[in-house]
């Protein structure tokens, strides 16, 4: 089954940072479609609702079938990916240090409407407490991988690759 992986970058990164390049390479190697919107061009790039609207518009216009859609996001992008599944259910939701449980976000604990879900979070994250991801994982029966890394997860790209490949294998079955 052809999958379409849509990466949502974090607040202080861009679509072609380390994680974006990693996921893009995996997608292309496996013959999957890949997209990454540049949220730095959003009307208000610091506003999660502005980013969510941009993603919702993209998903509505492209009409990627639910059974093919993989949403993956990092930090604020993870939060946006989770929120997007409330409007566009997905086959998969792969979150890296997602900004869940943040008091200043409109919906702190969004539903995760995806058949397969996975969360990765660094134990030394000084931006978003790993306990937020752990709580979300418990509430939604989502597998979680806690790593000895910080918010950027830059020391764990090999582990992210392994987890993402395994995740895609489960989604494609």
| CATH number for 89 | 3.40.50.1820
Count the helices and strands in the chain (H runs, E runs). Answer: 5, 6
pLDDT band at 16 (very low <50, low <70, confident <90, very high): confident
Q: Could you give the number of structural domains in the chain?
A: 1
pLDDT score for 1: 66
Tell me the percentage of the chain whose pLDDT exceeds 90: 82
Q: Which of 22, 18, 14 is nearest to 5 (CA)?
A: 22
Domain range holding 58? Answer: 4-171
Two structure tokens written together for 166: 């395994």
Q: Could you give the CA distance from residue 143 to residue 100 in angstroms, rounded to a whole number?
A: 15
pLDDT score for 85: 97
pLDDT score for 116: 98
Residue 39 · residue 47 · CB < 8 Å: no
Does 41 score more than 70 pLDDT?
yes
Does 61 score more than 80 pLDDT?
yes
* Mean pLDDT in residue range 108-121: 95
Does 42 score more than 80 pLDDT?
no
* Mean pLDDT in residue range 64-81: 97
Question: In the chain, which residue ranges form alpha helices assigned H by DSSP?
Answer: 18-29, 48-62, 76-84, 130-140, 157-171
């Amino acid at each position: 089954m052809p999958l379409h992986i849509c990466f949502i970058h974090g607040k202080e990164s861009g679509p072609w940072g380390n994680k974006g390049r990693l996921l893009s390479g995996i997608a292309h190697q496996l013959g999957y479609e890949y997209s990454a919107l540049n949220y730095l061009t959003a009307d208000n790039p610091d506003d999660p609702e502005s980013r969510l609207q941009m993603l919702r518009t993209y998903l509505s216009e492209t009409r990627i079938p639910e059974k093919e859609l993989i949403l993956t996001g990092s930090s604020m992008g993870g939060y946006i990916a989770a929120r997007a599944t409330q409007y566009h259910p997905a086959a998969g939701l792969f979150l890296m240090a997602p900004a869940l449980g943040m008091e200043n976000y409109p919906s702190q604990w969004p539903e995760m409407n995806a058949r397969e879900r996975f969360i990765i979070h660094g134990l030394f994250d000084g931006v978003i407490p790993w306990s937020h991801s752990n709580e979300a994982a418990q509430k939604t029966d989502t597998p979680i991988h806690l790593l000895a890394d910080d918010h950027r997860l830059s020391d764990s790209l090999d582990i992210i690759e392994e987890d993402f490949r395994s995740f895609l294998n489960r989604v494609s079955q």
